[in-house]
Structures are given as structure tokens and as C-alpha cells.
Amino acid sequence: MIVHPLRTLALATLLLSFAAATAQEFDWERYEGTDIRFMMNRHPFTDWLEPLVPEFEALTGINVTLEVFPEDQFRQRRILEVSSGASTLDGYMVMPGQVGAQYLGANWIRFIDDLIADPSLTMPELDVDDFFGGALSTFEEDGRLYGLPLQIESSLLFYREDLFEQAGLEGPPETLEELREYAAALDEPERAGFAMRGRGAAATSQIVNLLYSFGGEWLDADGRSALASQESQEALRYYADLLRDYGPPGPATLHWAEVTSLYAQDQVAMIFDANVFRSIMEDPAQALDVVRENTRYAPLPAGPAGSVPGVLVWGLAINHASQNPEAAWYFIQWALSKENQIDTLMAGVPAARASAWDDEQFQATAPADWIDASQRSFDMGQPFWNPPVVPVAEVRDAYGLAIVAALEGQDVAQVLQQAAEEMDRIVERAGR
């Protein structure tokens, strides 16, 4: 037999190329028969997802167990499992702004860059860049990803277009200084000019929008509290003056329920709170007709550092101890596919993909200015609406005391210095 070296080499090269191409081909049935377990918060996303799990099982042959608990119980059970190193828990819902620092520091969460980079494990249409920047960055640590976002929420300015016209105000305020001027022009004995949360720790998720927009941060470059910085002082002083001068009585008693109720009942002209509360302003059982017919939406007006809203993100992640990370990854990318994110959004959950918000069917269901303001906020948002430390609740409590004190007229520099010192003590005791 005559051997032709060149022909043999060409054939070998062809076979190797074919083998490589075959190895790189994504196959939904690759992990057929695998059992995976996800722990989920009882959340509107979970309500949407549960009845669709059989579709994923039929597509992949992967058997999925969803364990769903009310939020407080969910958080307790999740930390018990991940801290024990249990390998039978494959994935879970997670809010990085709440526990990201803790879970990363304890090595309880798996980075997914290797999975994304492997074309045999990642569906070609995943399109990570389709997720809003403010949502995706929440899952970034040192340039690596440890999960994907399923929903994103930000806060917007809700305002009454009819009252603006009566006061001769054109369009929404573009800067925080203009917001103060608008509040002054709209403030009347029977209707306050502006309102936002002021009830201690509950207010921190909203005032953080001002903190960032004044150029402030939770932490300085050395990892210590930055709450006493000049920028932080300016933000809190602006906030306290605005609510004392043009807000409803007792601003330190206001949580989101009070803020939205006051607005819905025509007792305040503008509020700043979560975009998801649009549903209240469109509900005849909760909002007066004049409010429902005249409410408009805009992004956070810009401060000295621009408009930098905080964004709240839930997502899905893989347990570091999972023995089935690939099958868990299949479930995550299916659940958060472009098609499913459109369905999620139509079900009332603010999806984290830009393409879902651009969908014509969805756009026909919501006000154009609300969609635009939300999308702009998602893109420019800062993911750490909570302090990026392990003892989140304790730090929020310390900051909340400073917020209430400022609303009561105490010296801003002094109360923030006290809050910063307490924050450092709390973090040092917790070890992070």
C-alpha cells in the first residue's frame, strides 16, 4: 500500500477539525439524567418560573428541584447550606448588594467565566452584553462574573405634569438644584412639594442615590467608612434641608408605603422611590384619578457627580460546592434567556435584559417615559445600594440614625462622623 503523507496529513487535520467542532457544539441534552437543586426566594420571578420548570426538564432531561421559602426563611436556610459546604445545593437566588461581599469572602459562590467561555457549555444566543450594565456589574468581582441578573430595580422621580404646568415649570428637573427649586415652587399648605423615605435604615436605600450623585461612597480607598466625607455631608445636608423645607410633616416617619400613599392621594407633588411603584399610581383603588392621569416619570436629577442612581438586583448563582455546576449553568442560562426575560417582564418582574425592555409587545403596556427613565437608570446605576460589607443591616442602622438626626436638625458633620466611626467598629468586629 502506498502512503501519501500529504493526503494523510490533510485527512488527519480534517478529522481533528471535525472533532474540535463537534466538541464545541452546544447540546441541551448533554447532562440528561442529572439532578440539580436550586434554593429560591418566594418572589414574583419564582412564581413565574415554577410552572415552567417542566419545559426545561423536557428540553434537557435534567431533573430540577426548586426549594422555595419566604424571604427571611430563605436567607436563613441558604446560609446554613452554603456555610456547611453542602454539595447537594447546586444554585440559588442571590442579591449581591445584600450578601455579595460575605459570600465571595467565604468562597460560597462559583465564578462562571470558564462556563461562559466554553462554547460547548453556553448557548450561542446567551449574549451577556444584553444585560443592563448596572445589573451585570453587580455580579462582577475583579473583572470576573459570579452570576447573572434576573431582575433590576431602580428609583425614579414621580411627578405631576398638571401641577408643573400650573406652576409654569417646563419638563422634569435635570439637576438636584433644579429639583429644590421645583419643590419650592410646588410646595403648598395642602400639598407638599417633595417627599422620599426618611425612616432610619429604610431611608438608606434611597439617600444612597444622593450620596453617589454628590460624589460620595460607602467606603474610601482603604476600606474604611467614607460617610464623614465632604461629599457625604453635602448629600445629607441637601436631603435634610429639602425634606424639612418642602416635605410633608414628620419626614423621619416615612417609609415607602407612606411616601407612595401621600403621592397617590394628592398630598405631595413629587416623590423619589422605586420604579416598581408605578403599579400603585395606576391602581384606581390606591390612586386618585387626578394622580393616575397626570403622573410622569424621570431619572434621578444630576448632582455634582452626575446622576448616579443605586440599582437593586436579584440574580442566579452557582454554589461553589456544587457537583453539577454545568447542569446548574444550563438551568441559569435557560431561565434568563432573551425569550424568558420578555415573559418575565410581561409578568410584572423588571427583567435585567435590555432586549426585553425594547420588545414591542412590552412597550405597548407601559408609559414610554417610565420605560425610558428606567432603562437610563439601569445603564448608569451604581450596584451597591447597600454598603459592600458583611454586616449590612448593622451599618444601615448606623447610617439611619444619622439620617434621622439630620432631619431633626442636628449638625450633619457631627452625626456623620459618629456614623462613620460606628460603621468602622461594626465592620472590624465582623472581620470585613
| Domains by residue range for the chain, with CATH | 35-152+311-380 (3.40.190.10), 154-309+385-430 (3.40.190.10)
Nine-digit cell at 367? 408609559
pLDDT recorded at residue 97:
80
Contact status, residue 403 vs residue 395, Cβ threshold 8 Å: no
Q: Taking 50 as the threshold, does the pLDDT of residue 344 lie above it? A: yes
- Looking at the chain, the whole-number percentage of residues with pLDDT higher than 90 is 79
Mean pLDDT of 371-392: 87
Instruction: Calculate Rg over the CA atoms of the chain.
Output: 25
pLDDT recorded at residue 279:
85
Convert the pLDDT of each residue in 115-142 to its tens digit. 999 999 999 999 999 999 889 988 999 9
Q: Taking 50 as the threshold, does the pLDDT of residue 4 lie above it? A: no
Q: Is the pTM of this model over 0.75?
A: yes
Q: Taking 50 as the threshold, does the pLDDT of residue 51 lie above it? A: yes
Residue with cell 416598581: 276
pLDDT recorded at residue 30:
98
Q: Taking 70 as the threshold, does the pLDDT of residue 221 lie above it? A: yes
pLDDT recorded at residue 390:
81
Mean pLDDT of 77-103: 91
When the pLDDT of each residue in the chain is averaged and rounded to a whole number, the result is 92
pLDDT recorded at residue 318:
98
**Confidence category of residue 349, pLDDT binned at 50, 70, 90:** confident
Q: How far is CA 258 from CA 72, 300, 316, 369, in A?
A: 23, 20, 32, 24
Neighbours of 223 (CB within 10 A): 12
Q: Would strands 144-145 and 140-141 be described as parallel, antiparallel, or unpaired?
A: antiparallel
**Which residue, among 29, 88, 19, 100, has the nearest Cα to 58 in the 3D structure?**
29
pLDDT recorded at residue 401:
98
pLDDT recorded at residue 432:
60
Convert the pLDDT of each residue in 383-424 to its tens digit. 788 888 888 889 999 999 999 999 999 999 999 999 999 999
Mean pLDDT of 276-288: 91
Give the whole-angstrom CA distance, residue 432 versus residue 429. 8
